[in-house]
Structure 1
Amino acid sequence: MREQEVTAMNLGRRRRTARAGMSGRQLLVAQVALVGSLCAGVFLRELPSIMRELRIYRMTGGLRAARRYP
């Protein structure tokens, strides 16, 4: 190991060490990407069902049907 010379300029500084692995920000980005892709997959899988429900909702009158169907 190389000894570091202590001067007034670097007295309060910490030396950076090489770390193996991910930083907190990289981990957070990876988690957001994973959750986002899972949500997009579920939404795309359920899209035909959502479209069918919207079609049924429009056929029954939507919001205007409140007085016809109590």
Structure 2
Amino acid sequence: MKVERAVREPERTVWTGRRVLVAQAAVLAGLTLLLLVKEVPGMVREIKIYRMTGGRRTARRHP
């Protein structure tokens, strides 16, 4: 007696809502980190300028 086996279709990857949200969060975190790293030199420069000009103390000298 010959037994015929059903040919299975290739299984598709199932993207659940949770997996999509985790993937989106990972992409967003990566982009945020990239932007922060790119902007750090400019922020350091601005802080140095702020300190050279006196910072918050200048309000007392210049009304």
Unpaired segments ≥5 residues, structure 2: 1-10
- Runs of 4+ with deviation above 2 angstroms: 18-21, 67-70
- 2:42 alignment counterpart: 49
RMSD: 1.8
Instruction: Using structure 2 for the length normalisation, give the TM-score.
Output: 0.72
Q: CA deviation at 1:32?
A: 0.5
Unpaired segments ≥5 residues, structure 1: 1-17
**Distance in 2 (alpha carbons) for counterparts of 1:35 and 1:55:** 30
In the alignment, does 2:55 pair up with 1:62? yes
The number of residues matched between the two structures is 53
Which residue identity does 2:59 align to in structure 1? A
Q: CA deviation at 1:25?
A: 0.7
SS for the counterpart of 1:35 is helix
